[in-house]
Amino acid sequence: MRKAYVLIRAEAGSTEEIARTLRSKCGVKTADVVSGPYDVITLVEGAQAEDVARIALIEIPDLEGIKRIETCLVHKTEDEATQDNLSIRRDYRCEKLC
């Protein structure tokens, strides 16, 4: 499973509609209206990187009211990082016992 966060700057007054539209799209897991430098932050998931890219780079920019987007691909999830740490600890414990 591939993931990306899409950070969206929107035209004034269009954030709610953009978030609502995004929530209805297949592959969009969340679309939250936020304050700060971005107006909407969206989590996109897909089986392949191409699925995520299609949504993040083609479908989202085509929505009315989008001024600018930035896409942040997820390279390692919290679960994957935890598994890596457990694996390192197991290897270390093995070496200490042997």
The rounded distance, in Å, linking the Cα atoms of 56 and 43 is: 10
- Over 40-89, what HEC string results? EEEEEEECCHHHHHHHHHHHCCCCCCEEEEEEEECCCCHHHHHHHHHHHH
Architecture of domain 2-97: 2-Layer Sandwich (3.30)
Q: Is the pLDDT of residue 95 over 60?
A: no
Q: Is the pLDDT of residue 93 over 80?
A: no
- Name residues whose C-beta falls within 8 Å of residue 84's C-beta, 6 or more positions apart in sequence: 76
Q: How confident is the model at residue 94 (pLDDT cuts 50, 70, 90)?
A: very low
What's the mean pLDDT when you consider all of the chain?
86
Domain ranges of the chain: 2-97
